Amino acid sequence: MGSKAKENAARAALNYLEPGMTLGLGSGSTAEIFLELLGLKIAEGFDVRGIPSSQQTADIARAAGIPLIEIDQADHIHLTVDGADEVGPEFTMIKGGGGRLLREKIIANASDLMVCIIDPTKLVETLGAYPLPVEVDPFGYTITAKKVFDVLKNSSEQSPQINLRMTKTGNQPFVTDGGNYIFDCACGAISRVRQIAARLSAVPGVVEHGIFLDLARIVIVGTEEGADILEL
């Protein structure tokens, strides 16, 4: 899907902004387009401030001229705008392809409203074609991998493949901003999404997983011609 669809989704999200808001700023290619558009709006005098979900988001936001604060300085987060790797029924989502799922989920959960911006390729009937990221503590991560496998094999249509995410050079494990590792879990299709989410959260060593539930209430699907607004 071309960048025009992503741009249209990001542009439509600007309609949910109000002056004085504290915004959660998401990660990913569509969210980065939103940051660029937000920076232009701020340059025209629009007054908002942002809380970035990653160091990369912070760098892009600063370059765009967006005022930032630390999450600990915020007494209220009015709105989070973020992307997703997959959006399924009831706005269940898989996120974390960029490795920022923990901070993205913390910010989204603390927000009055989460708006998810995607292109049509991310809208699915069943989650799981995109590998599910699971963030884990480095201590005992091989044991944690076995426990994650056990959870997923009982809830997936095919035997899951659990792969430790590596850096682009492939020489060492990818490390999140929080100092953790990520397993990318290829499941094919995930049934009983809510059950899996609960069971993964209960595994010692799992810091967070990429299943997002009951967080986004608005999903904006950008197209080449404009944007479709979906609401629960």
Catalytic residue numbers read 104
* CA-based max dimension of the chain: 53
8 A C-beta contact, residue 66 and residue 25: yes
Give me the residue label for tokens 């960048």.
Answer: 3
- Sheet with 216-222, strands from edge to edge, namely 49-52, 22-25, 77-82, 111-118, 216-222, 227-231
Report how far residue 205's alpha carbon sits from residue 216's, in angstroms, rounded to the nearest whole number. 26
- Tokens standing for residue 159: 């035997």
CA dist list (Å): 118 to 24, 38, 124, 227: 16, 17, 11, 10
8 A C-beta contact, residue 79 and residue 23: yes
**Comparing C-alpha atoms, which of 121, 124, 114 is closest to residue 223?**
121
- Between vectors from CA 116 to CA 124 and to CA 154, what angle results, nearest 5°? 45
Angle, helix 55-63 to helix 29-43, in steps of 10 degrees:
30
